[in-house]
Structure 1
Amino acid sequence: MFKALRFLAGTFTSSDSNKYPATLSKKWAVVSGIIAVLVSIPILSVLSSFFVSSGEIWSHLASTVLGDYITNSLLLIVGVSSGVVLLGVTLAWIITMCSFPGQKYFEWAAVLPFSIPAYLLAYIYTDFFGITGTLQTAIRSTFDLGIGEFVLPEIRSLWGAIFIMILAFYPYVYMLARSAFLNQSVSLFEASRIMGYTTTQSFFKIALPLARPGIAAGLALALMETLNDFGTVQYFGVQTFTTGIYRTWFGLGERPAAAQLAGFLLLFIVVLILLERWSRSRIKDQTNATNRFKRIQRFDLTGFKKWGAFLVCAIPVFLGFILPVALLLSMFFNNIDSVNTRFLLYSLNTLSVAAIAGLITVSVALLMAYSSRLNPSKLVKGLNQFGALGYAIPGSVIAVGVLIPFGWLDNTIDSFARSNFQVSTGLLLSGTLFAMIFAYVVRFLSVSYNGINSSLQKISPSVDEASRGMGYSFSEILRKIHIPMLSGGLLSAFLLVFVDVMKELPATIIIRPFNFDTLAVQVYRLASDERLGESAGAALAIVLVGIIPVILLSKTITRSRKTEEH
Structure 2
Amino acid sequence: RALGAGPVKRFFRVGLPMARPAIAAATAIVMMETVSDFGAVSFFSVQTLTTGIFSTWLEGGNRGGAAQIASVVLIAVLVLVGLEKKSRGQVRFYHLSRQHRAVVPLVLPGWRGWLAGALCAVPLAVGFLLPVGVFLSHALDASGLWSDPGLMRALVNTLFVGGAAAVMTVVAALFMVYGVRMTGRRLPVLLLPVTTIGYAAPGAVLGVGILFPLSGLDHMIANAVEAATGRDIGLILTGTAFAVIFAYFVRFFAIAQGAIDAAFGRVTPSLAFAARSLGEGPGGTLRRVYLPLIRGSLGTALLLVFVDSVKELPATLLLRPFNFNTLATRVYEKASLEQISQAAPAALMVIAVGLVAVLMLRRRETH
Q: What range is the shorter-chain TM-score in? A: over 0.9
Quick one: distance in 1 between partners of 2:229 and 2:308? 43
Aligned pair partner of 2:176 in 356, 359, 368: 368
Helix, strand or coil at the partner of 2:90: helix
Q: Does 1:213 align with 2:21?
A: yes
Matched, 1:444 2:275: no
**C-alpha distance in 2, partners of 1:328/1:213?**
38
SS at 1:194 equivalent: coil
Deviation of the 1:553 alpha carbon:
7.5
After superposition, the Cα gap between the structure-2 partners of 1:375 and 1:197, relative to the gap in structure 1 and judged at 3 Å, is: farther
2:177–2:260 Cα contact (<8 Å) kept: yes
Structure 1 unaligned spans of 5+:
1-192, 560-566
Pairing of 1:406-421 with structure 2 (within 5 A): 406-416=214-224
Q: Is the aligned partner of 1:534 residue 2:342?
A: yes
Structure 2 partner of 1:273: 81
Deviation for aligned residue 1:290: 6.2
| Cα distance in 1, alignment partners of residues 94 and 254 from structure 2 | 25
Q: Please tell me whether residue 323 in structure 1 is matched to residue 127 in structure 2.
A: no
State the TM-score, normalizing by the size of structure 1.
0.61
Task: Report the equivalent of 1:431.
Answer: 239
2:36 is equivalent to residue 228 of structure 1? yes
Task: Spell out, residue by residue over 1:5-40, the C-alpha distance to the aligned partner (whole angstroms, 9 max, x if none).
Answer: xxxxxxxxxxxxxxxxxxxxxxxxxxxxxxxxxxxx
Letter of the 2:142 partner, please give it: N
Aligned mates of 2:79, 2:239 — CA distance in 1 = 31
| Amino acid of the structure 2 residue aligned with 1:287 | F
Q: Tell me whether 1:512 sits opposite 2:320 in the alignment.
A: yes
Q: Give yes or no for contact 1:217–1:276 (8 Å, CA) kept in 2.
A: yes
Cα distance, 1:552–1:290 mapped onto 2, change above 3 Å: farther
Decide whether the 8 Å contact of 1:519 with 1:539 is kept in 2: yes
Q: Distance in 1 between matches of 2:299 and 2:9?
A: 44
CA separation of 1:289 and 1:255: change in aligned 2, threshold 3 A = farther
Cα displacement string for residues 141-170 of structure 1 (whole angstroms, at most 9, x for unaligned residues): xxxxxxxxxxxxxxxxxxxxxxxxxxxxxx
Q: Quick check: 1:351 aligned with 2:159?
A: yes
- The residue aligned with 1:238 is 46
Alpha-carbon shift at residue 300 of structure 1 (Å): 4.2
Q: Structure 1 stretch 367-376 or stretch 480-489: which is displaced more?
A: 367-376
* Aligned mates of 2:331, 2:178 — CA distance in 1: 39
| Post-superposition offset of 1:313 | 1.5
1:407-464 deviation digits (Å, cap 9, x = unpaired): 1112334455666776655323223211111110000000111011101111110111
The structure showing larger relative contact order (alpha-carbon pairs under 8 Å, at least 6 residues apart) is: 1
Contact 1:371 1:380 in 2 (8 A): no
* Helix, strand or coil at the partner of 1:325: helix
Letter of the 2:86 counterpart: W
Q: Which of 282, 287, 292 is the equivalent residue of 2:93?
A: 287
Aligned letter for 1:461?
P
Q: Which amino acid aligns with 1:463?
A: L
Say whether 1:304 aligns with 2:304: no
Contact 1:432 1:512 in 2 (8 A): yes
Q: Which amino acid aligns with 1:349?
A: N
1:28 alignment counterpart: none
CA distance in 2: counterparts of 1:362 and 1:328, whole angstroms: 33
Shift of 1:368: 1.9
Q: Does 1:458 align with 2:246?
A: no
> In structure 2, what is the equivalent of residue 9 of structure 1?
none
Whole-Å Cα distance in 2 between the matches of residues 483 and 280 of structure 1? Answer: 31
Do the aligned partners of residues 537 and 377 (structure 1) sit closer, same or farther apart at CA in structure 2, a change above 3 Å counting? Answer: same
Name the aligned partner's letter for residue 93 of structure 2: T
Partners of 1:278 and 1:551 in 2: how far apart? 33
> How far apart, in 2, do the equivalents of 1:473 and 1:420 lie?
43
1:501 to 293, 302, 309: 309
Q: Distance in 2 between matches of 1:197 and 1:458?
A: 41
Conservation of the 8 A alpha-carbon contact between 2:300 and 2:361: no
Number of residue pairs aligned between Structure 1 and Structure 2: 364
Q: Which residue of 2 aligns with 1:387?
A: 195
Partner amino acid, structure 2, of 1:249: W
Match for residue 353 of structure 2? 545
Report the alpha carbon displacement of residue 231 of structure 1 after superposing the two structures with TM. 0.6
Deviations 1:111-167 (A, max 9, x none): xxxxxxxxxxxxxxxxxxxxxxxxxxxxxxxxxxxxxxxxxxxxxxxxxxxxxxxxx
Distance in 1, matches of 2:356 and 2:161, equals: 18
Q: 1:389 to 1:376 in 2, by over 3 A?
A: farther
* Distance apart, 1:345 and its partner CA: 1.7
Question: Would the alpha carbon gap of residues 329 and 232 (structure 1) be closer, same or farther in structure 2, given more than 3 Å must change?
Answer: same
Distance 2:178 2:84 in 1: 25
* TM superposition shift of 1:289: 6.3
The structural deviation recorded for 1:279 is 2.3
Offset of 1:297 from its aligned partner?
Answer: 4.2
Deviation at 1:373, TM superposition (A): 1.8
Please state how far the C-alpha of 1:252 moved relative to its aligned partner. 1.3
Q: Give 1:280 deviation, angstroms.
A: 2.4
Partner of 2:142: 335
Q: Between 310-319 and 396-405, report the one with greater CA deviation.
A: 310-319
- Per the normalisation by structure 2, the TM-score is 0.92
Structure 1 position 294, deviation (Å)? 2.0
Contact 1:199 1:299 in 2 (8 A): no
Identity %: 39
Counterpart residue identity of residue 367, structure 1: F
Contact 1:414–1:425, Cα closer than 8 Å, also in 2: yes
